């Protein structure tokens, strides 16, 4: 990287990730949002058996009995929710919705916690307070007047508890639809669709203990220093144990290079750090399947002279499709693998050698794998690599998708899906005595398309910022404005709340950190982490206002008002969440003794078939799945086209912008940046710091442009990166993985030129 010219806000960051910088940033997060005397007590209750589950990420804690695990971005998530700032009826009276639309995403959420149920008033262009019961009654009227239940969309963002998500899906299904757009559709849907075909379950198979026993970790397309910070403790330990950690990522991410653990007194005292990646391969954006096929090709070549390199017994007993995989790999030429992955054959052969020696391998992956036009097939290539050496159902081995929102996996487990299985429909019949609809509903993209085309008229959001998280903000804004009714349940104000159609309600909800008191007393909710551990979470803080209601209570209120002849005892269920969990147990037998088992510290683990070598696929075996060719759109590589990935900064949580720095990448006080390789800058006649115009280079569709400042960065050639959600305007809504519906947020073909 040659950063000769001074560019405002751009300075190389030379320290390790973590360390004193992380402590300083935590102190700042506390200072900016909270009463400094309250914060330590609150942060110390994070992830304790009697405390609340950190809303920051879905990484588990050891049995949930560990001492507090220091984590900068967890502290940001917690203090952002527990802030002293408030968005009151007076605030809304002072600011019209048109004015608020001119605020940045950062300014909107930083205004503070919502305090009252509000309804939009067209005459004054403001949100005005409304009583809960009046709001529910009006929503019920509009819902009942819809000609077809499939004209209503039920959106979930993965922060909702199991109890809230379960009630939400029961409500939607009794109302008569399977329209469940969900943040997971933008996130790990490729995992939810790809892995069941490969190994019979759409979840990770490893537990934290497996990290103690593995002897190789391959990390692909995730940035744990920012997005799964508690994973850094695990990687740090593994590295110190001498476990090779092989990273595939187009960007050099500091936390994957070296990390100083703020809980390690020696590293902190001596300003030293631990290296994380033993080798770091800067794959081209969208080149992972090629890299994986290259590694498999080299493994198969090794197996010709040392047959033990493959687990033949496992392959014979537990898999199908091996011969087809070998034929496909044989057809794939090294020259193509090198060109598409951007990696040298010798490097991939080296990875294969290490893999062939490892007795227990874990592959961890994130959005760099799933958010591609071939996301599902990408995930399946990871499963293939692991299957070749029987890396399932053995200590220290398995697949580790890094989930996003802290309970996104749980939401799926308790029924948020647009494609209900017969077992789910039977379970609902058993528990509630009504027949849920079987026809498939809308996922996130399909829901927004239906809204844009006027086929759906109502949107009910259990959290999140739906229209900003999706691609194509212009289309999403138009779609929102065509609605008859939008209902938002949020902790904080965001842009989706301000895109108003006929009627809009904005409901303030209790967050994870707050006490949830119902008729029978204080309640706990339950959460499922990335490793299928289900445990209780209980907030202790006084709620942000006495008007707040819990998500289960709001869902029950709307359901009761919408369905006068409901088979569900909505008001009774929310008096005591044990009653909701009893119903979950009736629908899902895997939750047997739910209420007893979550009272044990650490909770319980849901069954994961592959850990017992049980494969719930059509063939009853694990299946090798083929990746057709190497890359989705080689036809688009005309030499001038670059691939754009949209990524998260260190100071953001999805569409929530905590601040304007991205410390580990050396960006301060701004987000209008395009990360570019030096060679690409030169080839386009650009210099570090030039203002550039980025144009989407898809064959058809509207012209999509964005201006950013290009900076020289250590990123693979042919690849560029910019921040989400600012760059979402470059992505058409239907540019997606057709198998899973996931938008291809990480591989947008673009042209970059100097701005006029």
Ligand X SMILES: Nc1nc2c(c(=O)[nH]1)N[C@H]1C(S)=C(S)[C@@H](COP(=O)(O)OP(=O)(O)OC[C@H]3O[C@@H](n4cnc5c(=O)[nH]c(N)nc54)[C@H](O)[C@@H]3O)O[C@H]1N2
| Tokens linked to 131 | 């009583």
Instruction: Give CA–CA dist 322/661, Å, rounded.
Output: 47
One symbol per residue from 685 to 724: x for binding ligand X (CB under 6 A), - otherwise; what is it?
---------------------------------------x
64, interface contact from Mo ion, ligand X, none, CB < 5-8 Å by kind:
none
Member of 79, 249, 358, 456 binding ligand X (CB under 6 A): 249
Structural contact between residues 219 and 256, judged by C-beta atoms closer than 8 angstroms: yes
Helix, strand or coil for residue 422?
helix
- Based on CB atoms, which residue is closest to Mo ion, 74 or 393? 74
With respect to Mo ion, which residue has the nearer C-beta, 404 or 539? 404
511 binds ligand X (CB under 6 A): yes
Q: By C-alpha distance, which of 623, 609, 59, 576 is closest to 381?
A: 623
CA distances from 515 to 51, 52, 446, 469, 522 (A): 11, 10, 36, 29, 7
Greatest alpha-carbon pair distance for the chain in Å reads: 79
CB-based contacts of 41, cutoff 8 Å, min separation 6: none
Q: For ligand X, what does the binding mask look like between residues 278 and 297, x meaning CB under 6 A?
A: -----x-xx-x---------
Closest to 214 in 3D by CA, of 399, 365, 382, 359: 359
Minimum CB distance to ligand X smaller for 81 or for 264: 81
Stretch touching Mo ion by CB under 5 A, among 62-70, 397-405, 555-563, 699-707: 397-405
What mask, x for binding ligand X by CB under 6 A, covers residues 363 to 382? ---xxx--x-----------
Binds 223: which of Mo ion, ligand X, none (CB < 5-8 Å by kind): ligand X
Among 42, 87, 364, 509, binds ligand X (CB under 6 A): 509
**Measured from the CB atom, is 119 or 290 closer to ligand X?**
290
Residue 242 beta carbon to ligand X: minimum distance, rounded to whole angstroms: 24
Phi-psi sector, 718: left (phi>0), alpha (psi -120 to 50), beta: left
Indicate the Cα dihedral angle 333, 399, 609, 397, nearest 10°. 100
**String of contacts with Mo ion for each residue 163-202, x by CB under 5 A:** ------------------------x---------------
Sign of CA dihedral 711, 717, 719, 723: negative
Structure tokens at 501: 């159609």
Q: How far apart are CA 666 and CA 655, in angstroms?
A: 21
Reduced to 3 DSSP states, what percent helix, strand and coil does the chain have, rounded to the nearest 5?
A: 40, 20, 40
Determine if 728 is a binding residue for ligand X (CB under 6 A): yes
457 binds, among ligand X, Mo ion, none (CB under 5 to 8 A by kind): none
Residue 737 beta carbon to ligand X: minimum distance, rounded to whole angstroms: 13
Site string for ligand X, 383-412 (x = CB under 6 A): -------------------x-xx-------
Binding test (CB under 6 A) with ligand X, winner from 30, 201, 251, 459? 251
Please, which residues bridge with residue 343 across strands?
none
Question: Would you count residue 401 as binding Mo ion (CB under 5 A)?
Answer: no
Give the one entry of ligand X, Mo ion, none that residue 57 binds, where binding means its C-beta sits below a cut-off of 5 to 8 angstroms depending on kind: ligand X
Neighbours of 523 (CB within 10 A): 25
- ∠ CA(105), CA(157), CA(548), 5° rounding? 80
- The burial of 336, by beta-carbon neighbours within 10 Å (0-12 exposed, 13-18 middle, 19 or more buried), is given as middle
User: Cα separation of 722 and 708, whole Å?
Assistant: 9
Its sign, for the CA torsion 677, 683, 684, 689, is: positive
Q: For Mo ion, which is the closer residue by CB, 418 or 514?
A: 418
674 binds ligand X (CB under 6 A): no
Contact status: 463 vs ligand X (CB under 6 A)? yes
Q: Read off the DSSP letter of residue 487.
A: E
Three state DSSP letters for 121-178? ECCCCEEEECCHHHHHHHHHHHHHCCCCHHHEEEEECCCCCHHHHHHHHHHHHHHCCC
473 touches ligand X by CB under 6 A: no
> 466 is in the binding site of which of Mo ion, ligand X, none (Cβ under 5 to 8 A by kind)?
ligand X
**Sole binder of Mo ion in the list 149, 202, 262, 404 (CB under 5 A):** 404
Least CB distance to ligand X at residue 725 (A)? 6
524 near ligand X (CB under 6 A): no
Q: Which range, of 197-205, 223-231, 402-410, 606-614, touches Mo ion by CB under 5 A?
A: 402-410
Report the site for ligand X in 85-114 (rule: CB under 6 A): 109
Indicate whether 361 belongs to the interface with ligand X (CB under 6 A): no
Q: What is the DSSP letter of 179?
A: -
Name residue, tokens 């800067």. 282
Binding mask 218-247 toward ligand X (x if CB under 6 A, else -) reads --xxxx--xx--------------------
Choice from 172, 232, 385, 469 touching ligand X (CB under 6 A): 469
Measured between alpha carbons, how far is 414 from 487 in angstroms, rounded to an integer? 22
Site for ligand X in 551-580 (CB under 6 A): 551
**Residue 250 makes contact with ligand X by CB under 6 A:** yes
Give bridge partners of residue 708 from the DSSP assignment.
692
What is the distance between the alpha carbons of residues 75 and 33, in angstroms, rounded to a whole number?
11
Under the binding rule (CB under 6 A), the answer on residue 135 touching ligand X is no
745 binds ligand X (CB under 6 A): yes
The piece of 36-44, 180-188, 190-198, 601-609 that touches ligand X (CB under 6 A) is 180-188
Q: Which is nearer to Mo ion, 165 or 431 (CB)?
A: 165
In order, the DSSP letters of 317-380 are: HHEE-HHHHHHHHHHS-HHHHHHHH---HHHHHHHHHHHHH-SSEEEEE-HHHHSSTTHHHHHH
What is the total count of residues that contact ligand X (CB under 6 A)?
60
Given Mo ion, ligand X, none, residue 221, with its beta carbon under 5 to 8 Å by kind, binds ligand X
Binding residue (CB under 6 A) for ligand X from 466, 505, 577, 588: 466
732 vs 35, 183, 379, 452, 663, CA distance in Å? Answer: 43, 17, 23, 13, 30
What does 97 interact with, of ligand X, Mo ion, none (CB < 5 to 8 A by kind)? Answer: none
> Which lies closer to Mo ion via its Cβ, residue 282 or residue 656?
656
CA 550 – CA 536 distance, rounded (Å) = 16
Comparison of 165 and 431: residue with beta carbon closer to ligand X: 165
Beta bridge partners of 217: 245, 362
- Sole binder of ligand X in the list 198, 282, 319, 655 (CB under 6 A): 655
Residues that bind ligand X (CB under 6 A): 56-57, 73, 109, 157, 159, 183, 186-187, 220-223, 226-227, 248-251, 253, 283, 285-286, 288, 366-368, 371, 402, 404-405, 462-466, 469, 489-492, 494, 509, 511-512, 551, 645-648, 652-656, 724-725, 728, 745-746
Residues that bind Mo ion (CB under 5 A): 187, 404
């Amino acid at each position: 990287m040659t950063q000769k010219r001074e560019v405002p806000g751009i300075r190389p960051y030379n320290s390790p990730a973590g360390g004193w910088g992380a402590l300083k940033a935590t102190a700042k997060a506390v200072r900016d949002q909270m009463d400094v005397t309250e914060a330590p007590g609150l942060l110390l209750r994070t992830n304790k058996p009697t405390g609340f589950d950190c809303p920051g990420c879905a990484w588990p804690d050891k049995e949930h009995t560990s001492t507090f695990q220091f984590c900068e971005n967890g502290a940001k998530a917690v203090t952002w929710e527990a802030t002293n700032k408030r968005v009151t009826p007076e605030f809304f009276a002072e600011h019209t919705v048109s004015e608020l639309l001119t605020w940045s995403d950062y300014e909107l959420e930083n205004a503070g916690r919502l305090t009252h149920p509000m309804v939009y008033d067209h005459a004054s262009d403001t949100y005005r307070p409304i009583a809960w019961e009046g709001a529910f009654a009006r929503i019920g009227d509009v819902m009942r007047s819809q000609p077809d239940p499939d004209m209503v969309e039920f959106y979930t963002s993965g922060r909702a508890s199991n109890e809230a998500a379960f009630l939400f899906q029961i409500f939607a299904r009794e109302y008569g639809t399977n329209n469940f757009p969900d943040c997971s559709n933008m996130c790990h849907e490729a995992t939810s669709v790809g892995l069941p075909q490969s190994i019979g379950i759409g979840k990770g198979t490893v537990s934290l203990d497996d990290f103690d026993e593995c002897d190789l970790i391959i990390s692909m397309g995730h940035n744990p220093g920012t997005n799964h910070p508690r994973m850094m403790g695990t990687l740090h330990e593994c590295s110190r144990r001498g476990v090779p950690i092989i990273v595939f990522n187009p960007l050099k991410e500091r936390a994957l290079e070296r990390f100083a653990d703020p809980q390690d007194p020696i590293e902190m005292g001596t300003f030293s750090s631990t290296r994380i990646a033993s080798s770091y391969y800067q794959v081209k954006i969208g080149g992972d399947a090629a890299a994986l096929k290259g590694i498999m090709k080299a493994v198969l070549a090794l197996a010709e002279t040392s047959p033990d390199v493959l687990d033949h017994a496992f392959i014979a007993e537990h898999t199908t499709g091996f011969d087809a995989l070998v034929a496909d790999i044989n057809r794939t030429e090294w020259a193509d693998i090198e060109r598409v992955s951007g990696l040298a054959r010798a490097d991939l052969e080296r990875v294969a050698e290490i893999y062939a020696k490892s007795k227990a391998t874990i592959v961890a992956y994130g959005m760099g794998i799933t958010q591609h036009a071939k996301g599902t097939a990408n995930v399946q290539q990871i499963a293939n690599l692991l299957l070749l050496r029987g890396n399932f159902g053995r200590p220290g081995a398995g697949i580790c998708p890094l989930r996003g929102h802290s309970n996104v996996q749980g939401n799926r487990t308790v029924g948020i899906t647009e494609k209900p299985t017969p077992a789910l429909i039977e379970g609902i019949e058993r528990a509630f005595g009504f027949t849920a609809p079987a026809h498939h509903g809308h996922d996130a993209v399909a829901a927004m398309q239906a809204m844009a085309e006027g086929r759906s008229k109502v949107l009910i959001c259990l959290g999140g910022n739906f229209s900003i998280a999706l691609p194509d903000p212009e289309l999403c804004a138009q779609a929102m404005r065509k609605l008859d009714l939008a209902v938002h349940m949020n902790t904080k104000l965001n842009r989706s709340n301000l895109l108003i159609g006929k009627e809009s309600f904005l409901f303030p909800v209790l967050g994870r950190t707050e006490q949830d008191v119902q008729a029978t007393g204080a309640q706990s909710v339950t959460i499922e982490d990335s490793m299928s551990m289900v445990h209780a979470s209980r907030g202790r803080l006084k709620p942000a206002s006495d008007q707040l209601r819990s998500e289960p209570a709001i869902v029950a209120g709307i359901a009761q008002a919408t369905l006068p002849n409901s088979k569900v005892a909505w008001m009774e269920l929310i008096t005591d969440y044990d009653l909701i969990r009893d119903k979950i147990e009736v629908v899902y037998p895997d939750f047997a003794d739910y209420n007893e088992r979550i009272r044990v510290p650490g909770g319980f683990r849901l069954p994961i078939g592959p850990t017992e070598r049980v494969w719930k696929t059509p063939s009853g075996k694990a299946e090798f799945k083929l990746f057709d060719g190497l890359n989705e759109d080689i036809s688009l590589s005309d030499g001038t086209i670059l691939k754009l990935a949209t990524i998260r900064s260190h100071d953001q949580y999805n569409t929530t912008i905590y601040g304007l720095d991205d410390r580990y990448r050396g960006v301060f006080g701004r987000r209008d940046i395009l990360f570019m390789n030096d060679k690409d800058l030169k080839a386009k006649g650009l210099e570090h710091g030039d203002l550039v115009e980025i144009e989407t280079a898809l064959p058809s569709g509207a012209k999509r442009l964005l201006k950013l400042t290009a900076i020289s960065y250590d990123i693979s050639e042919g690849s560029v990166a910019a921040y989400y959600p600012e760059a979402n305007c470059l992505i058409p809504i239907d540019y997606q993985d057709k198998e899973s519906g996931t938008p291809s947020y990480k591989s947008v073909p673009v042209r970059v030129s100097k701005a006029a």
